[in-house]
Amino acid sequence: MGVQTAALTTSPVIARLRRLLGAREAGVFIALMLMIIFLSVTTDAFLSGRNLLNIGRQVALLGILSVGMTFVLIAGEVDLSIGSTYALSGIATGMLIVDQWALLPALLAGILIGVVVGAINGVISTYGRLPSFITTLGMLSIVRGAALLITNGDPVTVNRAAGADETTLAQFTWLGQGNLFGQIPMQLVFFIIIAIIGAVLLALMTYGFKVYAVGGSAKAARVSGINVFSVKIWAFVIMGALSAIAGILGLAFLPSAQAGRTGVGLELDVIAATIVGGASLSGGEGTMLGTVLGVLIIGVLRNGLILLNISPFWQTTIIGLVIIVAVAIDKWTVGRRNS
């Protein structure tokens, strides 16, 4: 009798452990821990407080973008225009500050650009019936072209010599270069806040439930009374707004940008981090915790390769391999589940 009672008591615990160990996030977490242990043993500087905070700052903008991409991928879509939106929003905000705009109106204008780009992506991909891959690939060039047109291809520098107000400039640069409590980079603070908001929206709010439903089966969601187009459009709007915020913070950290170079290829790292974290290209799967872990994987990997003195060319190659492996795991997992 005692043995049966013990078995009944422990079986739910065992079941929970099995579910935890079988979760994609658990695999990502284990991989992250193994990387941290390896780098801790092979390098002297990895576990230093300065290096860890540096990693946090380095992954912050990637993380902010990945939060938005999580919504888009779970909804069953993809956005390739984020690098161009990142550039256009940041550059536009910088130009407005140089033109003596106050900080808040300049920030709102930059974020509005991202929202408009996201809305256009969403409307064309839904009501226009075009695949989001094609829509956002086209917007990638359109938005990049707009950035080149407004700057005439010239670099945009935000400083007093260019005409920025001293007080506004100090406030702007603090957003990207400041430290909370003198230690924590402000970019990391923004990432943490946005990730928490994203997690609450995705896991606890009605909209999050709708995103999963639409990504899992758009037809079933439509039959259930969910406005599929609205859910997808809002996912693109969130993505656009976060692209703008990341672009603005990027310019605040390094107050010089060039329309033809800023943000180029950024979408690849974002998609890689999100998929590594467990989001599926097929839609309907992913968590904000997984995305944060995926972002940390990419950040720790890049930092570790630098500490190990690996050639920058090899770094690019290795990140590409990570993308391929992540997509392969995603496809294998989906195929195994459907078999």
What's the mean pLDDT in 306-328?
78
pLDDT of 106 over the 50 cut: yes
Predicted pLDDT at 337 = 55
Under the banding of pLDDT at 50, 70 and 90, the label for residue 173 is: very high
User: How much is the pLDDT for 19?
Assistant: 54
Q: Measured in Å, how far apart are the chain's first and last C-alpha atoms? A: 41
3-state secondary structure of 185: strand
288-307 vs 49-74: helix axis angle to the nearest 10? 140
Q: Which CATH architecture has domain 25-334?
A: Orthogonal Bundle (1.10)
Looking at residue 235, its pLDDT comes to 96
What does each C-alpha distance from 282 to 72, 172, 186, 272 come to in angstroms?
Answer: 11, 39, 34, 14
Q: What is the mean pLDDT of residues 14-37?
A: 70
Is the pLDDT at 7 greater than 50, yes or no? no
Q: Report pTM.
A: 0.88
Alpha-carbon span 27 to 16, nearest angstrom:
15
CA distance 245 to 258: 17
Q: Quick one: DSSP state of residue 260?
A: T
Query: Helix, strand, or coil here: 161?
Result: coil
Query: Rounded mean pLDDT of 300-322?
Result: 83
Return all residues near 266 (Cβ < 8 A) that are at least 6 apart. 62, 65, 82, 83, 86
The label of the residue with tokens 């180029």 reads: 264
Is the pLDDT at 43 greater than 80, yes or no?
A: yes
Mean pLDDT of 47-73: 92
* Spatial CB neighbours of 102, under 8 Å, sequence gap ≥ 6: 168
Helix H or strand E segment including 100: none
Residue whose C-alpha is closest to residue 93's, from 302, 281, 255, 212: 255
Cα distance between residue 46 and residue 57, in whole Å: 15
**Within 100-227, where are the H helices?**
103-126, 132-151, 166-177, 186-204, 206-216, 218-223
Does the pLDDT of residue 30 top 50, yes or no?
yes
Per-residue pLDDT at 3: 46
φ, ψ at 184 (rounded to 5°): -85, 120
Distance CA 211, CA 74 (A): 6
pLDDT on residue 182: 81
Compute the half-sphere exposure of residue 261: CA atoms within 13 Å on the CB side of its CA: 8
Is pLDDT above 80 for 244?
yes
Reply yes or no on whether the pLDDT at 190 is more than 60. yes
Mean pLDDT, residues 41-66: 90
Task: Give the CA diameter of the chain.
Answer: 83
Q: Give the mean pLDDT of 210-234.
A: 93
- pLDDT, residue 334, reads 55
pLDDT digits (tens, 9 = 90+) for 120-140: 999 999 999 999 999 999 999
- What's residue 149's pLDDT? 94
Average pLDDT in the chain: 87
Confidence of residue 23 (pLDDT cuts 50, 70, 90): low
